[in-house]
Amino acid sequence: MADVLLLGGTGGLGRALVSRLLVDGHDLTLLSRDPVRARDLLPASVRLAPVDQLEELVPGHSVVVNLAGEPILGRWTAARWARIEASRVALTQALAGLVQPGSVWLNASAIGIYGDRADEELDHRSSAGSGRLAELCQAWEAPLTGARSRGVRSVALRTGIVLDPGSGALASMLFPFRAGLGGPMGSGDQWQSWIHVQDWVEAVAFAMSAPVDGPVDVVSPQPVRQREFASALGAAVGRPALLPVPAMALRLAMGPASELLLASQRVEPTRLLAAGFRFRFPTLAVALADLLAEAGARPA
Ligand SMILES: NC(=O)c1ccc[n+]([C@@H]2O[C@H](COP(=O)([O-])OP(=O)(O)OC[C@H]3O[C@@H](n4cnc5c(N)ncnc54)[C@H](OP(=O)(O)O)[C@@H]3O)[C@@H](O)[C@H]2O)c1
């Protein structure tokens, strides 16, 4: 069992990970900007501390997991983009100077690092792409290189679209799709690399102990085109998903953040599979059926 220090553990993914790590008997300490609010969100066995105790607490832990970051969905105003960057890059830079040789550091990142790549098959060996998100992700991952050279096993969790009915992209799509107002976004040709939240949690727990180092793509082995995604979600909620949302409408409504929905990223989890990780929900239909049954979302 490890002594694990978590940042960003009050978020949608963090809370799911905390439950899983407690089952394994790990000793968890969580740094939060608001430990009082965090107390209401997390089990009593998780120790809490304010994030300004970073310098004191990081060196004493054998595993550090950083999931912190200003939410990226929504319109990127200048002030918001500054928070999106600072909460990821500055915090990760600070951690790089504190993690100890021999320890394990798992840091959030995203498949946004690949940019918009049409039908190209991508994995951790692919070059980074261009665009705001790709540049952000490169700056976010850069501090891990320095830590790795000091003997810290440093893993960038290049996460795809995590499907969780309670948070993130799926939560925001459920309402229109249940109302029969869903449909493909943009051309519908773009690839989406998704993962069931339970597989995401298992993959991160796996990366804590498996000998993986460097960037790891945390996505299911079966990415789909956006059109197939919309149709599978429509089928899963028992409603037609035929109303297309034109790319222009998304660009007008979301500005540059429309990249999140329109960029094509066909990513393979090569490193996880090579290390022996097995997905419980490799296909989208099975993942959605499970997630929506769990959420009680399927109409009678
Ligand atoms: N969910 C996805 O599909 C997805 C996909 C790709 C990458 N990721 C990345 O994975 C990480 C976790 O995702 P998530 O969906 O769980 O995120 P989330 O729910 O938005 O939570 C992230 C946590 O970050 C902290 N935080 C929020 N704004 C902050 C700010 N301005 N400065 C410092 N800390 C801040 C908060 O913790 P405290 O309030 O306790 O400090 C929050 O609970 C994020 O870095 C995200 O970008 C997620």
Distance CA(116)–CA(132), nearest Å, equals 11
Distance CA(211)–CA(214), nearest Å, equals 10
Of all protein residues, whose CA lies closest to atom 30 belonging to ligand 1? 70
Residue 140 has φ and ψ, to the nearest 5°, of -65, -40
Q: Do the Cβ atoms of 20 and 6 come closer than 8 Å?
A: no
Residue 91 pLDDT? 97
What share of the chain has pLDDT > 90, as a percent?
93
pLDDT band at 300 (very low <50, low <70, confident <90, very high): very low
Q: Which of 164, 162, 163, 159 is nearest to 106 (CA)?
A: 159
Query: What CATH superfamily is the domain 3-160+197-218+268-279?
Result: NAD(P)-binding Rossmann-like Domain (3.40.50.720)
165-217 pLDDT, tens digit per residue, is 988 899 989 999 999 999 999 999 999 999 999 999 999 999 999 999 999 99
Q: What is the mean pLDDT of residues 212-239?
A: 97
Query: Which of 5, 6, 7, 10 to mutate for ligand 1's pocket (most ligand atoms within 8 Å of CB)?
Result: 10
Of all protein residues, whose CA lies closest to atom 24 belonging to ligand 1? 68
Say yes or no: CB of residue 250 within 6 Å of ligand 1: no
Residue 220 has φ and ψ, to the nearest 5°, of -70, 160
Distance CA(85)–CA(112), nearest Å, equals 14
Q: What is the mean pLDDT of residues 228-244?
A: 95
- For residue 66, the CA-to-ligand 1 centroid distance in Å is 9
Say yes or no: CB of residue 148 within 6 Å of ligand 1: no
Say yes or no: CB of residue 239 within 6 Å of ligand 1: no
Residue 167 pLDDT? 87
Ligand 1: nearest atom to the Cα of 30: 40
Q: What is the mean pLDDT of residues 72-99?
A: 96
Structural domain boundaries in the chain: 3-160+197-218+268-279
Q: What is the mean pLDDT of residues 132-160?
A: 98
For all residues of the chain together, what is the average pLDDT? 95
CB neighbourhood size of 148 (10 A): 17
Residue 296 pLDDT? 64
- For residue 239, the CA-to-ligand 1 centroid distance in Å is 31
The answer on pLDDT for 297 being more than 50 is no
Residue 299 pLDDT? 42
pTM over 0.85: yes
Distance set, CA 205 to CA 153, 197, 271 (Å): 14, 12, 15
3-32 pLDDT, tens digit per residue, is 999 999 999 999 999 999 999 999 999 999
